[in-house]
Structure 1
Amino acid sequence: MKKLDIFKIIIIIFAILLSLWYLKPTFQFFSMSPEEKAKMDPYKLDRLKDKILNLGLDLQGGMHLVLEADMSKLKEKAEAEDVIDRAIEVIRNRIDQYGVSEPVIQKQGRTRIIVELPGLQDKQRAKELIGRTALLEFILLEDPELFSDLIDKIDMYLAKKAKPESTQNVSLTAQESKQTNAENDSLEDLTKMLEEEEAKTEELGGEKPFSSLLVSWGGDIYVSEENIPKVKKILADSIVKKLIPVRSQILWASKPEIIRDKNYYGLYLLKKEPELTGAGIADARAEIGSGASLQTANRPYVTFTLNSEGADIFDRVTRANINKRLAIVLDKKVYSAPTIRSRIPHGRGQITGNFTMNEAKDLAIVLRSGALPIPLKQIEERTIGPTLGRDSIRAGITAALFGMAVVIIFMMIYYKLSGVLANLALFLNVLFIMAVLAGFHATLTLPGIAGIILTIGMSIDANVLIFERIREELALGKTIRTAIDVGYSRAFRTILDANVTTFITAVVLYQFGTGPIRGFAVTLSIGILASMFTALIITRVIYDIITSRYTIKHLSI
């Protein structure tokens, strides 16, 4: 046997063993039951997932979202493309930290972004994580007296505007707002105060149409959940908007406080301009509080660290505003409004609230990844269940197996033992395709399975060309050895031309296609290379081994 043939045999054996090694984690992972996966060490399971062939959205289920950017706030149209690219990068960072494997995030047209999240479990949480603008601001609260005066002015305007209607809501006068002491309030005191003020409301007969919808507790203003629509309607009035100082704004709390088994949302008057934004954040982490602080004891909260520039600004702001309140505002919702007791020189702080651990983790993720440069609204959502994915896998595998079975039977009947050789090349072709996909940690989709099925036909086509050439040479009376050599030599050019043109088509599909089209192009490209290797190298080496070791008078073809 020639040295070249020995070298080819070594390459073939190495390729087969390497393919089996790459596919082993995939076989191991998908053969495990959910119970076995749950019992497995999380670190080892993650390591195993990093080595497997991923299944796409259409095979394992998940979520498909189409987001559209609100371009109305852009000053120049030239900014649009840059803004979309930055939004895609922010979304990608958030999803990567969330832990979804092989997401698809791409631009569609000029203003839309497609997001595909295969294998996603908590869909609502993911939507909130992706769509949240995450504009973090640190804003000083206005003086309580200014807020009380504003409430009085709104009451006066509403009283003049229309006949006051009776209400059973809690009354709050400006003088009472000033006298409320945050340090001495307790839940029992509040309950008593609410009962007293409910009686006062009836006596007032609706003379305070705005403040009667409010509750003062702990130095802050609250609105019961059922009164929120009324308060929002009042604040949306064009005249009321003009009553609000130009350099101030009214914002709501992010989450309610539970008072007397009812939800009350905080209402804050803040300065309009922030002292610092989330651009100054270097890191953010979700943590569980210890018993050292009653505010965070055994509760999730978020710690953040500012970069050097942000730390300098924070130091200056806290030093100049001791005993004033600084609100931590995310997407125009107040998460907390602590009082500045002393300067904070090192740029470290925390965001507290009624968080669950998942909410704290998601908040930390969006703070680390940065704010979206433009608001995004969801215009389409499709959820594919795992059952549909399993049905797709079953249908794809059935189609592939049925196609292979028909081809195998045909090749064995028509080409006899040479057909068996072609079938062996076919199996190795599929093995190499799957191994390459697993080795590159690629994602297999339904179009990808279609590409594999097409490759099965192309692989057999190459062998058919070779066998027909060999038959022609044998018909001319040439020896078996010569017929094989000439057959492979003459078929090579035809096979190469056909595969090169198909490969170029696959490259074009990958370059200009999206999602599923790219999946088809990838598997088709790998299949073309694998089919040429199996048809031109592997089958030829097997023929060479047989003809060099045995004296063959008749070739079964």
Structure 2
Amino acid sequence: MLQIEGWKRVLIWTTCAIGLLFALPNGFYSKVETYNDAKDAGTVAMGWPSFLPSGLVNLGLDLRGGAHLLGEVKLAEVYTTRLEGFWPEVRNVLREERSTVGAIRQQDGGEGELRVRIGNPEAIDHAMKIVRTLARPVSSLSGGLTDDIVVSSVGDNLIVTLSEAEKLATDDRTMAQSLEIIRRRVDEAGTREPTIQRQGTERVLIQVPGLGSAQELKDLIGTPALLTFQTVVGQTSNSSGTAGIGNELVQSAENETLYYVLERAPVVTGEDLTDAQPSFDQNGQPAVNFRFNTSGARKFGQYTTDHIGEPFAIVLDNQVISAPTIQSAITGGSGIITGNFDVTESTRLSTLLRAGSLPASLEFLEERTVGPELGQDSIDAGKIACMVGFAAVLIFMAMSYGTFGIFANIALIINVGLIFGLLSMIGATLTLPGIAGIVLTIGMAVDANVLIFERIREELKTAKGPARAIELGYEKALSAIIDANITTFLTAAILFFMGAGPVKGFAITLGLGIITSVFTAIFVTRIMVVIWFEWRKPKTLEV
């Protein structure tokens, strides 16, 4: 019999109502956006009822305008930094065997290697064995475990490099850390829904809608903001001087003719920071207050306790911004950074320090600024395309199938609302290809209804009665509908997982459109037909 249980009717209409409710804020985009901004800022949010959903479909770079960058992370720098930090461990274990290996001294090596000369060349094999005890296991591509370092020798020089498995693991960690830090910096600046994705092995795609220029974005995320606290060995005014093995020559930020000789291995780094806030020093000049985590506070406190009366350098992005003398032990885990910067610079510095330092430098290969006017043109063109396609489908269905076509048109309107409701619920970003996906969905949405209505026409010719014809029409068209939509959905899934950027946007709207189309065709139009049939009780059907 042609009937639908009461609980199914309630479930179908409830699903439609919830989907349309979540899509509602997009009809009042500016008002809801202002409400959300005020809510995020912690101020009084007005202009939109708080009991209604306030999720919006985020507009992509090509619709809203903004900045686009493609950057390459210099992964090789991390290898060198990693091995420089490994030197103290190597030095300590070899010192314990000094009677056998002799004097040890760090040498200048090639990029990505740590080179140590030992005083007794005959003990080089013993020294290699000792250093290998510092190796840690790491998973290899074959699924087994291998050491994270490779120890070799050339004459009286012991050479330590990272293994290939460790380099691959380091690359993954570095890229994940870079993506997270870039995301933090962009979020700290208060921008909306950025797109930050890894591309290939060492590239990062960054798109920030609503930002004024690509240069502004570069200034925000391109600065390494690498903060270190290092031991001062000496000072010089000669930039071409040699710092010595294990040391480095760093220019003063306040005096271009002054250079500091610093120990390369830092006492504490910016990774140990937990907070940084703009403030003012005792002279009323802009400064930055900082606080260490437990580990950083312990190391900083121990160092300042052991080196009272000695200078230490605060180094930011390879420039000494301050080199104060330690007056007393600093055990509270907090301090202040002073320098020649204004309020804007101190605010920006604190933002960068809170977000963390990039593990490696970032080289920008491509940059674009998309103006909001171009984005508005895309929106207007998308609206026109949607309305033209929508109107053509509505007219065709009404003229071809009469009352049943009107039911299909109502379901199509609900379908588009459900698409926007789902996009709002998952926080998706709508791009120009995404609009193309919606336009394609509008055209495809009535396919299922066409199959059903044509099948009902065929069943009416067997004179089984209108109720039975409708029932058989939905039953026998179901397999064709599912087959057609599953293949299209699989194509959308492949586009999503294999594609990037705009292709993903198209795949998302196409995939969601398929789900909502099947739902509205199989359930929504059917419940409308059943309600109409129960009300009119027609003896014949005009499909």
TM-score normalised over the length of structure 1: 0.74
**1-side partners of 2:404 and 2:4: how far apart?**
23
**Equivalent in the alignment of 2:272:** 281
**Equivalent in the alignment of 2:29:** 29
Choose 116-125 or 384-393, whichever is displaced more: 116-125
State the aligned residue count: 451
Alpha-carbon displacement from aligned partner over 1:494-531 (angstroms, at most 9, x marks no partner): 00110111111111111221121111111111111111
**1-side partners of 2:293 and 2:38: how far apart?**
41
> Counting helix residues as a fraction of each chain, which structure ranks higher?
1
**Equivalent in the alignment of 2:207:** 116
**Amino acid of the structure 2 residue aligned with 1:556:** E
Q: Find 1:84's aligned residue among 175, 178, 184.
A: 175
**Amino acid of the structure 2 residue aligned with 1:57:** L
Deviation at 1:39, TM superposition (A): 8.9
**1-side partners of 2:340 and 2:10: how far apart?**
64
Are 1:301 and 1:350, in contact at CA under 8 Å, matched by a contact in 2? yes
**Amino acid of the structure 2 residue aligned with 1:100:** T
Alpha-carbon displacement from aligned partner over 1:471-511 (angstroms, at most 9, x marks no partner): 11122323111111111111111001101111111111112
**Equivalent in the alignment of 1:139:** 230
Q: Find 1:543's aligned residue among 508, 521, 529.
A: 529
**2-side partners of 1:497 and 1:14: how far apart?**
27
> CA separation of 1:529/1:248 partners in 2, compared to 1, >3 Å: closer, same or farther?
closer
> CA separation of 1:413/1:109 partners in 2, compared to 1, >3 Å: closer, same or farther?
same
> CA separation of 1:2/1:487 partners in 2, compared to 1, >3 Å: closer, same or farther?
closer
Consecutive unaligned residues of structure 2, counting only runs of 5 or more, are 80-111, 113-161
**Equivalent in the alignment of 2:419:** 433
**Equivalent in the alignment of 1:389:** 375
- 1:215-364 matches, cutoff 5 A: 235=239, 240-242=240-242, 244-246=243-245, 248-254=247-253, 265=256, 267-278=258-269, 281-289=272-280, 293-294=282-283, 297=284, 299-364=285-350
**2-side partners of 1:248 and 1:416: how far apart?**
85
**2-side partners of 1:323 and 1:463: how far apart?**
84
Deviation at 1:123, TM superposition (A): 4.5
**Equivalent in the alignment of 1:203:** none
> CA separation of 1:316/1:40 partners in 2, compared to 1, >3 Å: closer, same or farther?
closer
SS of 1:555's equivalent in the other structure is coil
**1-side partners of 2:271 and 2:424: how far apart?**
40
Deviation at 1:275, TM superposition (A): 4.2
Are 1:278 and 1:367, in contact at CA under 8 Å, matched by a contact in 2? no
Pair 1:104 & 2:195 matched: yes
**Amino acid of the structure 2 residue aligned with 1:270:** V
Which structure has the larger Rg? Answer: 1
**Equivalent in the alignment of 2:489:** 503
**1-side partners of 2:269 and 2:54: how far apart?**
33
> CA separation of 1:437/1:41 partners in 2, compared to 1, >3 Å: closer, same or farther?
closer
Deviation at 1:380, TM superposition (A): 0.6
Pair 1:479 & 2:465 matched: yes
Alpha-carbon displacement from aligned partner over 1:334-392 (angstroms, at most 9, x marks no partner): 22222222110122111123444453344334333433222211111011111111111
Are 1:252 and 1:267, in contact at CA under 8 Å, matched by a contact in 2? yes
**2-side partners of 1:371 and 1:125: how far apart?**
18
**2-side partners of 1:38 and 1:374: how far apart?**
33
Are 1:311 and 1:345, in contact at CA under 8 Å, matched by a contact in 2? yes
> CA separation of 1:45/1:253 partners in 2, compared to 1, >3 Å: closer, same or farther?
farther
**Equivalent in the alignment of 2:407:** 421
**Equivalent in the alignment of 1:93:** 184
**Equivalent in the alignment of 1:8:** 8
Deviation at 1:266, TM superposition (A): 6.0
**2-side partners of 1:328 and 1:456: how far apart?**
60
Are 1:280 and 1:307, in contact at CA under 8 Å, matched by a contact in 2? no
Choose 357-366 or 501-510, whichever is displaced more: 357-366
Alpha-carbon displacement from aligned partner over 1:13-34 (angstroms, at most 9, x marks no partner): 3223212321333333325798
